[in-house]
Amino acid sequence: MILIGRYASPFVRRVAVSMNYMGIKFEHKALSTASDTDAIKTYNPMAKVPVLITPDGQALVDSAAILDTLCDITPGQKLLPASGQVRRNILQQAAIMTNVLDKAVQHVYEPLKRPAEKVHQPFLDGLVDQVAAGLDMLEIMAAKGEISSGEQANLAGITIAVGWKFLQRVLPKAALADRHPSLAKHSQICEALPAFKACQSEV
């Protein structure tokens, strides 16, 4: 399998870390959406990452769809049950973090894509509030021990740890360790593991 996209993207990185957890070997092509757009379009005409090329040549897009496929075809994987309440809980936790990440990415690109006089600060402030609110939701769960961590991390635990590190880089004012101590501890534990260390951000 070939994973396309840089680990600077939390969506690419969560796929890579999850593949490491499941013991799936893959080749990594660290193509950037900023500088390698044409190359990415040969795999995904939308020029978005991640893209996973399967052994039969199929190009899978969107991290959620990629991970659902990988969990479905990997015997004995422990990241996501096939059905039941536990599966729904994991997917909900992961969805909160991916929504947080979507807002954080918007916050990064908004001032980059518009002239300075067109940037609307209240909109940016609203994005920060949304990110913080999502993290508050996850902090409550983490403090109750509802988020799996370390070597036993499931898909949600991996996504949350990857997301926290990304937020520390791009929006630290929303991801505060004193406000979200359980999330910070969770990320620290996970980031020390080989599955995470093998997928360090290029930035």
Question: Confidence band (pLDDT; 50, 70, 90) for 118?
Answer: confident
Looking at residues 92-98, what average pLDDT do you find? 98
From residue 187, alpha-carbon distances to 35, 121, 149, 191 in Å are 30, 30, 8, 6
Mean pLDDT in the chain? 95
Question: How far, in Å, CA of 11 to CA of 15, rounded?
Answer: 7
Question: How far, in Å, CA of 181 to CA of 187, rounded?
Answer: 10
pLDDT one-digit tens code per residue, 132-157: 999 999 999 999 999 999 999 999 99
- The predicted pLDDT at position 163 comes to 98
**SS3 letters across 174-202:** CCCCCCCHHHHHHHHHHHCCHHHHCCCCC
Residue 101, pLDDT above cutoff 80: yes
Q: What is the CATH number of domain 85-194?
A: 1.20.1050.10
Residue 126, pLDDT above cutoff 70: yes
Question: How far, in Å, CA of 180 to CA of 141, rounded?
Answer: 11
Residue 151 is given by DSSP the state G
Q: Where are the domains positioned within the chain?
A: 2-73, 85-194
Looking at residues 31-38, what average pLDDT do you find? 93
Residue 131, pLDDT above cutoff 90: yes
From residue 36, alpha-carbon distances to 9, 32, 40, 64 in Å are 14, 5, 6, 23
Residue 99, pLDDT above cutoff 70: yes
pTM summary value: 0.95
- The predicted pLDDT at position 65 comes to 97
Looking at residues 40-56, what average pLDDT do you find? 96
- The predicted pLDDT at position 113 comes to 76
- The predicted pLDDT at position 203 comes to 65
Looking at residues 28-53, what average pLDDT do you find? 95
Q: Which CATH number fits domain 2-73: 3.40.50.360, 3.40.50.1820, 3.40.30.10, 3.10.580.10?
A: 3.40.30.10
